Amino acid sequence: MARSINIDLQGGVVPISQAAASLAALIRRAKVSGQPVVITQKGYPSAVLLNIELFEQLRAMAMQAEQAREQHG
């Protein structure tokens, strides 16, 4: 089942220095909230931390899209 992904631009974006210092807490936050955490480097989005369930959903959706493209040419 697909869910809406809304990134909390106040608490859902952290600089890489903070992410390195509080990785365990950020993993817990992503797991509990189900929302991604955007990690910035030099002020620019650089990576996204996802809980495993959301990652698996996105991976399954990508695989389905790829199979659909292969079937239709």
pLDDT digits (tens, 9 = 90+) for 4-23: 566 666 668 999 999 999 99
Residue 22: its pLDDT value, please? 94
Residue found under tokens 């950020």: 26
Residue 1: its pLDDT value, please? 46
The residues spanned by each domain of the chain are: 13-71
pLDDT digits (tens, 9 = 90+) for 25-67: 999 999 998 889 999 999 999 999 999 999 999 999 999 999 9
Higher pLDDT: 73 or 72? It is 72
Residue 47: its pLDDT value, please? 95
CATH architecture, range 13-71: 3-Layer(aba) Sandwich (3.40)
Residue 56: its pLDDT value, please? 94
